[in-house]
Amino acid sequence: MSEPKKSMSTNAVVFGLLTGFTLILLSVVLFITNKSQSGLQYFGYLILGAGIVIGTMNFRDKYSEGYITYGRSLGMGVLISVFAGILLGIFTYIYIKYLNTGLVEDVIIKARQQWEAQHMTEEQMTVAEKYTRMFLTPAMILILTLVGYVFVGTIISLIASAFIKKDRPPFENVIDQKPA
């Protein structure tokens, strides 16, 4: 018995949520180990890339008869990125707004130390802090997380789709038909 038909959006939701939960797990580990401001956070893009590739190949192989065009592959990757970004953005919003309300202040303190090391004046640091605080609100971080993951996911999808795509042979339907 063959697999039931599955829509692109259903597959994208499933793999987007799986990718999102994996990104949340990474975030929790980084927050617990106090490494959230280190370069390890970029490991999330590898997780996103894996989610895009695995999710798109799953759709191609199980629900699209082993074929997928470049455009559909790209669309699948972007949709997976959207759902993963939404989930991670919501988690980050909740984390900053309710679970770790001092995170923004910690970031500002570290930023001020870096600005002092760069010999910025107090006036320059005050202006920089104002703009930094504007971008560190929970709502802005949710939006920036979503936009960032969709942007990076689109780039990953553009590249991955070139390798994942598998066009249907042009004469497949003609060969399979019996003469009248």
Query: Does residue 160 carry a pLDDT above 90?
Result: yes
Query: Does residue 179 carry a pLDDT above 70?
Result: no
DSSP annotation of 180: -
Mean pLDDT of the residues in the chain:
89
Per-residue pLDDT at 170: 82
pLDDT in tens, 99-136: 988 888 888 898 899 999 999 999 999 999 999 889 88
Q: What is the rounded CA–CA span in Å between residue 77 and residue 85?
A: 12
Two structure tokens written together for 174: 């003609």
The count of other CB atoms within 10 Å of the CB of residue 59 is: 24
Query: Does residue 137 carry a pLDDT above 80?
Result: yes
Domain ranges of the chain: 8-168
Q: What is the rounded CA–CA span in Å between residue 178 and residue 180?
A: 6
